Structure 1
Amino acid sequence: MAADASSSQGKNRAFPDLFVLAVIVAGLIYTALGWTPSSYGVALSGIGAAGDGLVFGTPKPIRSDEWAVWTPFIQIAAGNGFDRFNALSPYAEDLRNFNALPLLDWGLPFKPQFWPFFAVDPAWAFSFSHAVFIVLFLIGYHRLFLAFGFARFWSAAAACLMFFTSYAQFWWTTTGPLLAIFPWLLLAVLARLPWYLHAALMAYVTAFWLLSHLYPPVIVPLAFAGGALLLAFRPEVLRPRTLLPCLAGVALGVGLAWLYLHEPIKVMAATVYPGSRSVGGGSVPLPLYLAQFFPFLVSTDDYRDLLNLNICEVATGGSYLLLLAMVCLDHGRMVEVLRRGGAERTALLRQLLVPLAAFALMSVWMLTPVPNVWGRVLLWDKVPGNRMVFAAGLLLLCLSLTLLRTGAIRLSWKRFAVVTVVVGLSWAMANGGLDGLLSRLAVNRMDLAILPPLALAVWLATRGALSGPWVGAALILCALSANAVGFGGFNPIQSAWPIFHRPATPVTAAFDASAAAHPEGWVLQGGMLPGALMQGLGYRSLQHVQIAPALSFFRPYFPEMDDTTYNRLFNRYAHVQIVPGLPSPGSPQADVVQLPMERFLSPPPQDPRGEAALKASR
């Protein structure tokens, strides 16, 4: 039986040691070189230092939530001496927020990615904070797939395949920590420990996960998919003896995260934006949903999307592996496998049907306009459908691996032809139909990247060079190669040294002059940079990203506003932009507040309503 062959392959202890060792060594080299996947090169271009520290690739302006927000906030935390409140900012804001920062407080034990900030140069520490999650991701999913009974080579290749999905690559520098820690949460459930140690481990990993980036739209569907996968592949851990300590540990971990972030949570819940958002289903366009099966359906070779959204918003957790498994499935042999009966048949059906049912339920939420109240039981009313795609892709990957493990897979040139036709038609339709198709082949052919490695696999199989579990391994490698070629170049390799050792340029000299000319040392002129970049560079700038509103700070500068108007404008997460000559403050979009520069050139007028108005505006 092919499953037995896979198991015997898994007993080879040489490979997993080599894979884990290779990943760890690569992470150490990555850190020693001070590399990061940051697109901060966009900011360096803004101060006249274009290309400084860029090793590979191109910084992506679309990743502004990283290079213009979260990376500057890490700079701010380091420059502020790792204190909780930012003494360098005019706003004196609280640096505890939903994205993890290196702060010297009681939450630090649950943020090990930042421990090196207190021992080495911040450039190396910042590099480590990225490298550690790459290492955790690859080893974590590798070990998880092993725990689900898949062969060791398969597990390593499948972990790499998940890493090179478009969602993991496009959103890595924001939600990467959540994706990377998640498999360790499931592995903690599977740990064999005394109940009190099991509960303690679950509490720590849960707190680590939640505090790495408290973003429910990703956390909720991952938790749902994790429960479904445990039910499918390791149902024995759902017995009360194991489950109760795990649930107690999870509850404790959630409590720790709440205790650490309860203040910013309460502040954000009371904002105009984002507030307590509640969404319904049906937000995923059909082409984006289908990209779970055809990963290049909604994007081009040069990372442009075909749905007029943006490239990050059309990311998925998909690959061609399920398509390959379905086309290459020998249905006659599959029927024979299912007829064997007994516990083996029951386990196979469970491993196929549970992930499929979970994916179907998620599909309903992604595709159909169900009311938000329907999703409240599972907290899905906090989850836009396109944030489910990584968790859905993980379910499909496990489903695909299970099909491959049955051994009912056959490679032939006829099956290759079927894949070619299906992939070719999807590529043609995604690129505007058949008219002028050949002219577009030169600029957008990534959809066809699966065909050369698949042709090689078929050629080897027809000559007897592939047999047993290596047939399935070849298909995993085909899907991996397509995703790696298509999405692996999205994030650049950027040295952290110019990020934490600011280059001196004429632009920074202009900022220095502007700060020297203001009585409070504020930078108000000189073509300020967007987001939180100014404060990240060490300037006392009003142009900033306010994670929590600074209501009392702005009130004296706008005494003419009534409380309702003032609250509607300022009580929000916002990119605060200081604009010369702006006639009046406004909010052109939900997360932007534009303010007239002239209001801040001198001390604010006395607010005639006094302290009562300040209290009312909070």
Structure 2
Amino acid sequence: MTEGTVVGRLRRIWSAWVERYRDFTVPRADGLPNRRVLLAGPALVLVFGVLAVGLAINGTSSGMFHPELSTSKDPDLIAGSPAAIRTDEWNVQTVWAIAQVEQGLPVINESMVGGMDATLPQDLPRVDWSVAFRPHLLGFPVMDLDHAVALKWWLPALGLIAALYCFAVTVLPRRPITAILLATGFYFSPFFQWWFLQTTLWPVAWALVVLTALIWCLRSSTRIAPIVWCAIVGYLTVVMAMGIYVPYIVPAALVVAGVGIGIVARAAGDGMRWADVARRVSGILIAGVVGAAVVGLWLFLKRDTVAAFLGTAYPGERLYPTGQSDLTYLAQTVSSSFALALKSGGWLGLNSSEASTFLLAGAFLIPVVVWLVIRRVRARGPVPWAMVGASAVILLLIAFLYVPGWDAVAHLLFLDRTLPPRLRAGMGLASIIIVVLLLAELSERMRPGRVLVGAVAGLFLASQIAIAIAVLIGGGPDTLATARYWWILAPLSALALYLLGRAHGTAGVALLLVVGFITSATVNPVYRGVLDLRETDASAAIRAYDAEVPGARWVGVGEGITTAMLLESGVQGFNGFQGAPSRDLWSEVDPSGQYEFNWNRLAGVSWKPGEGEPVVANPYPDQILSTFDACSAFAQESVDFVLSDESVWLRSDCLTKEQTFTGGKADSLTIWRVVPTN
């Protein structure tokens, strides 16, 4: 066979595949994606999810406890290393989840004296009606712990990918490959990987589903599809709201409002009567009202817990004023090329999670949006109002951060209930929406010139170089060296912006995925199951001693391993990350109420050695550290056993050593019995 024959055959095969792809992606008559295209992305996500959950593979950092227990390699750590900074996951949510499993998934967890509501704000696995709207927790009643944790890890993330894919193919019905690449790249944003919790992911997924449903309701020529989308909106509204973390909900809601108004305005501008617009979007409004009613009922039933939580000293009802940010925050927000520095503990003065951000491609491409609007206005064509709305939301968030003096308006928009680092979620969401909409609007016949797009890419590259110079001057070469490969990632990101602005969408999106994967794929480990402290000898001994004394109570003194061990073992005590503070607990620790400001907060409760009655302090706003003296009236009346680790030295006439467990650290855990004073 000659070379020409081989080339010709390959061309025919390629042409045949292209033709099949075109046939596969033919849109419906109303311009929306056909069923195969719409479901292809979710189907791929489902297959991955089934495999990952079936193998119990997830990204938990619960292996942080392994060195406390053994000097050997963690057999369940497949790749990477645990992320110490992600304490909300491995030291709070995972520990509490295991405590819930140990106690039988109750609504009121009894690990801390006085009990704690498992539904909020911790969102723990439990068995009650509200868990129907916590899909990531549905594995705990029916699966073993390892697989349930895997489902909890993956479901919100895969929901995010599926939501962006559906939005993208709704706008780009002939480009499912571009859509799945874009959705996967968005998932690998540093912000999501460093804040990998359901409270972060569900609001963004909800926003994308609402906008997708809005487009379907306005364009669909059939009745069934809009009804299905409205039902999904109603369900996800409850899912999102039950996360109750307002700093992430507000930015997502503002993006929905801005882009949604733009979508409606475009439909009206295309000739649809306002009465028809109202009729078509009424389903979404009804779904939102029904979802809000379910949430309202839930909050009413939990009103005592909500009132106690809102009455805390921290977080309480925090209001953030306008115009309080500085250039450092701006540098953190746009420094996506330096994301690998976060693996070294932080960037520009913030820890890794707080400093994480997105590659804000859409935000940098706002000049292209302006160019497109001007072209459309001059040609008397349809204005891309949805892009205008997304751009306006980004500018609104920037104004809140840098322009003072409009606090009353910001309060009406709920902006003052969020925090600057959390606003990046809204910027990232609006930015990716701009990218999708630009992909639909730009083409070889309708695209800005090389000068404008080159200037946009150059501006991004210049911002990265400026940050590098500032870090080099302020922190030295060693600090800049932690941001590995920034000098490669910055040009790649700039090239992605150029390709997107010049209508080379698939190539630009592929580069976004490459950059995201390089910067974020190793943030979380690849872990099999979860490290379950109940499987240790120490936990078995704790349960045995606890059974000796009916109603026994414990205190853990030392590092986090003591608190985690007690909680997962299912015994009752005075350690844990509390939600709404238990008055019963603190009336025993602080009967006079002297330290109420210190303990009336959403915070982790831990103990250190001291003398006399407990002294309660706050090393950080979300930490409560109290002193413990076994001879104090508190200990004599309320504590039966103490668990300590090697970080503290406990010696007291009121303590007798019962058992010591060696492992990763010498004498790492010791059980003590509290005995009467002489």
TM-score range, shorter chain: 0.7 to 0.9
Separation in 1 of the partners of 2:535 and 2:75?
9
Instruction: Provide closer, same or farther for how the CA distance between residues 428 and 141 of structure 1 changes in structure 2, counting only shifts above 3 A.
Output: same
Q: Which string of whole-angstrom CA distances, capped at 9 and with x for unpartnered residues, describes residues 510-532 of structure 1?
A: 75587578774333357463665
2:339–2:519: 8 Å Cα contact kept in structure 1? no
Structure 2 alignment gaps of length 5 or more: 1-20, 28-33, 218-222, 269-273, 640-678
The aligned residue for residue 182 of structure 2 is 158
Q: CA deviation at 1:378?
A: 0.8
Out of 397, 415, 426, the position equivalent to 1:391 is 426
Q: Which string of whole-angstrom CA distances, capped at 9 and with x for unpartnered residues, describes residues 154-199 of structure 1?
A: 3222212221112111101352333334423433445545898876
Q: CA deviation at 1:64?
A: 0.6
- CA-based RMSD of the aligned residues comes to 3.9
The aligned residue for residue 61 of structure 1 is 84
Q: CA deviation at 1:435?
A: 11
Tell me if 1:406 matches 2:442.
yes
Tell me if 1:601 matches 2:635.
yes
Instruction: Provide closer, same or farther for how the CA distance between residues 359 and 579 of structure 1 changes in structure 2, counting only shifts above 3 A.
Output: same
The aligned residue for residue 574 of structure 1 is 603
Separation in 2 of the partners of 1:540 and 1:59?
28
Tell me if 1:428 matches 2:471.
no
1:514–1:523: 8 Å Cα contact kept in structure 2? no
Instruction: Provide closer, same or farther for how the CA distance between residues 604 and 522 of structure 1 changes in structure 2, counting only shifts above 3 A.
Output: closer
The aligned residue for residue 388 of structure 2 is 353
The aligned residue for residue 46 of structure 2 is 24
SS of 1:593 mapped into structure 2 = strand
Separation in 1 of the partners of 2:332 and 2:475?
22
SS of 2:604 mapped into structure 1 = strand
Separation in 1 of the partners of 2:515 and 2:142?
40
The aligned residue for residue 451 of structure 1 is 491
Q: Which string of whole-angstrom CA distances, capped at 9 and with x for unpartnered residues, describes residues 546-599 of structure 1?
A: 11111123314433x2x4x34323322221112222554222232222233234
The aligned residue for residue 38 of structure 1 is 60
2:340–2:482: 8 Å Cα contact kept in structure 1? no
- 1:170 alignment partner AA: W
Separation in 1 of the partners of 2:215 and 2:543?
55
2:495–2:508: 8 Å Cα contact kept in structure 1? no
Number of aligned residues: 580
Separation in 1 of the partners of 2:526 and 2:545?
33
Out of 268, 273, 277, the position equivalent to 2:309 is 268
The aligned residue for residue 572 of structure 2 is 540
SS of 2:606 mapped into structure 1 = strand
Q: Which string of whole-angstrom CA distances, capped at 9 and with x for unpartnered residues, describes residues 272-314 of structure 1?
A: 2222221112344434334544413576263443321211111
Separation in 1 of the partners of 2:569 and 2:88?
16
- 1:305 alignment partner AA: G
1:303–1:490: 8 Å Cα contact kept in structure 2? no
SS of 2:514 mapped into structure 1 = helix
The aligned residue for residue 623 of structure 2 is 592
Q: CA deviation at 1:421?
A: 5.7
Separation in 2 of the partners of 1:294 and 1:410?
26
2:497–2:508: 8 Å Cα contact kept in structure 1? yes
Tell me if 1:100 matches 2:123.
yes
Tell me if 1:296 matches 2:331.
no
SS of 1:602 mapped into structure 2 = helix
The aligned residue for residue 585 of structure 2 is 553
Tell me if 1:177 matches 2:202.
yes
SS of 2:117 mapped into structure 1 = coil
The aligned residue for residue 662 of structure 2 is none
Separation in 2 of the partners of 1:163 and 1:362?
22
Structure 1 alignment gaps of length 5 or more: 1-5, 606-618
Instruction: Provide closer, same or farther for how the CA distance between residues 23 and 494 of structure 1 changes in structure 2, counting only shifts above 3 A.
Output: same
Which aligned pairs between 1:479-490 and structure 2 lie closer than 5 A?
A: 479-490=512-523
1:319–1:479: 8 Å Cα contact kept in structure 2? no
1:297–1:426: 8 Å Cα contact kept in structure 2? no
Instruction: Provide closer, same or farther for how the CA distance between residues 197 and 138 of structure 1 changes in structure 2, counting only shifts above 3 A.
Output: closer
Instruction: Provide closer, same or farther for how the CA distance between residues 198 and 533 of structure 1 changes in structure 2, counting only shifts above 3 A.
Output: same
Q: CA deviation at 1:603?
A: 1.9
Tell me if 1:221 matches 2:236.
no
- 2:203 alignment partner AA: L
Separation in 2 of the partners of 1:586 and 1:568?
9
Q: CA deviation at 1:80?
A: 1.9
SS of 1:302 mapped into structure 2 = helix
1:282–1:369: 8 Å Cα contact kept in structure 2? yes
Q: Which string of whole-angstrom CA distances, capped at 9 and with x for unpartnered residues, describes residues 12-33 of structure 1?
A: 8776655433322111111011
SS of 2:108 mapped into structure 1 = coil
The aligned residue for residue 282 of structure 1 is 323
Out of 505, 511, 534, the position equivalent to 1:472 is 505
Out of 542, 547, 552, the position equivalent to 1:521 is 552
Q: CA deviation at 1:224?
A: 0.6
Between the two proteins, what is the percent identity of the paired residues?
18
SS of 2:107 mapped into structure 1 = coil
The aligned residue for residue 610 of structure 1 is none
Separation in 2 of the partners of 1:315 and 1:180?
19
Separation in 2 of the partners of 1:455 and 1:468?
10
Q: CA deviation at 1:60?
A: 1.0
Separation in 2 of the partners of 1:433 and 1:558?
49
The aligned residue for residue 236 of structure 2 is 205
- 2:241 alignment partner AA: L
Which aligned pairs between 1:500-515 and structure 2 lie closer than 5 A?
A: 502-505=534-537, 507-508=538-539, 511=542, 515=546
Separation in 1 of the partners of 2:237 and 2:373?
41
Which aligned pairs between 1:180-191 and structure 2 lie closer than 5 A?
A: 180-190=205-215
- 1:422 alignment partner AA: A
Separation in 2 of the partners of 1:590 and 1:435?
28
Q: Which string of whole-angstrom CA distances, capped at 9 and with x for unpartnered residues, describes residues 415-454 of structure 1?
A: 5995896366245325315998699568632352253697
Moved more, 305-314 or 96-105: 96-105
Q: Which string of whole-angstrom CA distances, capped at 9 and with x for unpartnered residues, describes residues 102-131 of structure 1?
A: 221121222222223222212212211222
Instruction: Provide closer, same or farther for how the CA distance between residues 483 and 303 of structure 1 changes in structure 2, counting only shifts above 3 A.
Output: farther
TM-score of the pair, normalised by structure 1: 0.81
Moved more, 369-378 or 135-144: 369-378
TM-score of the pair, normalised by structure 2: 0.75
Which aligned pairs between 1:328-343 and structure 2 lie closer than 5 A?
A: 338=376, 341-342=379-380
Instruction: Provide closer, same or farther for how the CA distance between residues 27 and 410 of structure 1 changes in structure 2, counting only shifts above 3 A.
Output: farther
Instruction: Provide closer, same or farther for how the CA distance between residues 551 and 251 of structure 1 changes in structure 2, counting only shifts above 3 A.
Output: same
